[in-house]
Amino acid sequence: MSDKLPIPVSILTGFLGSGKTTLLNKLLKDPQMSDTAVIINEFGDVGIDHLLVETADDNVFEMASGCLCCTIRGDLVDTLTDLVERRDNNDIKSFNRVVIETTGLADPAPVLHTIMNHPYLLQRYRLEGVITVVDTVNGEATLDTHEEAVKQVAVADRLVLTKADLLTGKQGEDTLFSIIARLNKLNPAARMLEVTSGEAVPQNLFNTGIYDPATKTANVARWLAADAYENPGKHHHHHEHDKNRHDAHIQSFSISSDKAISQWNLDLFLELLRSYHGPNLLRVKGIIKLEEDPQRPMVIHGVQHIFHPPFQMPQWPDDDHRSRLVFITRDIKRAQLEDLFKAFTDPVRGGADAFRDDTLSLRKGD
């Protein structure tokens, strides 16, 4: 039965030249990765030939570390389905984690959509987290010119800083403080790790997920990190940025409410989010207090217009019993979403009335 538990999937992304391939090669040599299957877009980009000990077939290779490695051939759904079915049939070595490495130019959203929306994959896999590699030397220039890089940073649970050892002297220190401040503004909840300090190791990069399938409970404080949005940058040097940069359009914020929301109103709220803001909802995470069952909160997770099926926890994971929602958005004001959520939790003005009135307001561009 345990073999049928959902397998956690982590997305490894980062812009061209960020050091993503170097990090992946380092991780593959770690014994902690021996029960991991790695899916990569372009096999030739990853120098693992010296790690291969046998060829399982044309697509899946077993490495000296014990990892399995395969390429995305055709469709990601087909690759993930084929991998888990062959695991079930004992055709390949068993694994209990998957890492998907995207191409450097990739918007990570389509990969997240695939894992969060496909009916069969939802039974066999669960999205755990996004790891984004950032080049500290060229990172600001990359963020200035490539919106994909901004998205990669914005949706990350872990930010891995590379090449910091190349930043020396006063100018190098200023460059490092500047990129850290910018990353913290884009994504205050993500944990930052440095390759050069040895922090970027499996135990720090993984286990970021929504819930542990063995217990069906969530470390919500770690997953949401909502307090980071209340005091962003408190541990970092601030640096003002050109308002014309791409990340001027991307905001990260959290909202909370002591009031419970009915399941019906929650469904309407999420439907309104998807309908009117879908493309600009880079990521949404939340734990919700339900009117029908206030002692068993609902966990939600969405990327753009795709939402993972919500699940209800057996109990609150901590003493904070408020609804807490974290948003990473593009060109959406915090007040707009905060007012909308309040409308659905207001005991006087809520439900269908709020849905109708706020729909009209959005159509008018308010």
* Class of 2-220 in CATH: alpha beta
Q: Quick one: tokens of 305? A: 């217009």
What pLDDT score does 196 carry?
86
What pLDDT score does 228 carry?
67
Count of beta carbons in the 10 Å neighbourhood of residue 366:
9
CA dist 142 and 83 (Å) reads 34
What pLDDT score does 309 carry?
80
Could you tell me the residue ranges of all domains in the chain? Answer: 2-220, 249-363
What CATH number belongs to 249-363?
3.30.1220.10
Tens of pLDDT along the chain (366 residues) come to 345 788 999 999 998 888 887 888 888 888 888 899 998 875 444 445 445 444 455 677 777 677 887 877 668 899 999 999 999 999 988 999 999 988 887 788 888 888 888 899 989 998 888 999 999 998 998 998 888 899 899 889 899 999 998 999 999 899 999 999 999 988 888 899 999 888 989 999 987 765 444 443 445 666 666 666 665 544 444 444 444 466 778 888 889 999 999 999 999 999 999 888 988 888 888 899 999 999 999 989 888 888 878 888 888 878 889 999 989 888 898 899 999 999 898 766 544 455 555 555 554 455
Q: List, as one string, the DSSP characters of 29-69.
A: TSGGGTTEEEEES-GGGS--GGGEEEE-SSSEEEETTS-EE
Residue 281 in contact with residue 273, Cβ under 8 Å?
yes
Report which of 228, 132, 229, 119 is spatially closest to residue 179, judged by C-alpha positions: 132
